[in-house]
Amino acid sequence: MSCGISKAGFLEEEVPRLEDWLNKNQHGQMVYMENHFDKRLDPTLLVDDAKSVVSLLLNYYPSDTQISDSFKISKYAYGQDYHFVIKEKLKELLHSIQENIGAVSGRAFVDSAPVLDKAWAAKSGLGWIGKNSNLLTQKVGSFYFIAELILDLELDYDYAVTDHCGNCTACIDACPTEAIIEPYKVNGSKCISYYTIELKDNLPMEMKGSFDDWAFGCDICQDVCPWNRFSKPHKEPLFNPNPDLLSLTKKDWEEITEETFKVVFKNSPIKRTKFSGLKRNIDFLK
């Protein structure tokens, strides 16, 4: 786990980016992104008397991946739902801070409230926002969950690091749906992850054949990123996959039953799509 700290305050530089993204409807059906605009930009509206944003990264890069003859799921979804795993760790950290320092108030956030995770992590010096809009690090790539503790405690603050994408366009060139419309700008409504997880309607037929066998999420722009050559396997047992997952063939996926789905993906982020959503995605890939 990596940790960086920023002074809590209004993210003025993020305002035009977020406004432009929403105005161009690049969030698609993710209407929740339209809510709590001010809170998204100002953590002091989420935690009374907030002074510091403690950003944390937790590696989820697996030691083993799916077999080649398989419909693919994002590596972050191999194990148990990260929301619950990380929330427990953050609660322990907050409790430890309170035990050692005294009366400290704060809240833990794991992709579950209007917090601009990547912006705060970058501001805290944990990495830079890459051309694929993910947080990149020089030492370990980008296969990381991002979480925060927002505290009413003044701390020593870290500084942002420089961008190290250079002239590389690997992520832009590799995206099969052209969701990365230009460096550092992603049209979320064209992303395979959006289609396979967020979109509740039928998948658009004009996209058939362009999902590259991804049934849940997509890792293409991370897999091709040169910085992910430095990714190291995580050490969190709860992120380890059900052994049956990695060996599922395309035929197994096509024949999966709801009972098998419940066993293999118990406590998994994949449950977000429900069995019906996963079947829709697999049928689209055939």
3-state DSSP of 158-227? CCCCCCCCCCCCHHHHHCCCCCEEECCEECHHHCHHHHHHHCCCCCCHHHCCCCCCEEECCCHHHHCCHH
Q: Choose the catalytic residue: 38, 48, 111, 158.
A: 111
pLDDT, residue 33, reads: 62
The angle at the Cα of 175, spanning 274 to 232, to the nearest 5 degrees, equals: 75
Under 8 Å between Cβ of 94 and 100: no
Distance (Å, rounded) from C-alpha 52 to C-alpha 220?
Answer: 34
pLDDT in tens, 163-192: 999 999 999 999 999 999 999 999 988 999
pLDDT, residue 207, reads: 93
Strands 106-109 and 144-151: antiparallel
Q: What are phi and psi of 158, to 5 degrees?
A: -90, 175
Decide if 111 is catalytic: yes
pLDDT in tens, 198-207: 999 899 999 9
pLDDT, residue 31, reads: 57
Under 8 Å between Cβ of 11 and 19: no
**Stretches in the chain below the pLDDT threshold 50:** none
- Sign, Cα dihedral of 45, 87, 76, 286: negative
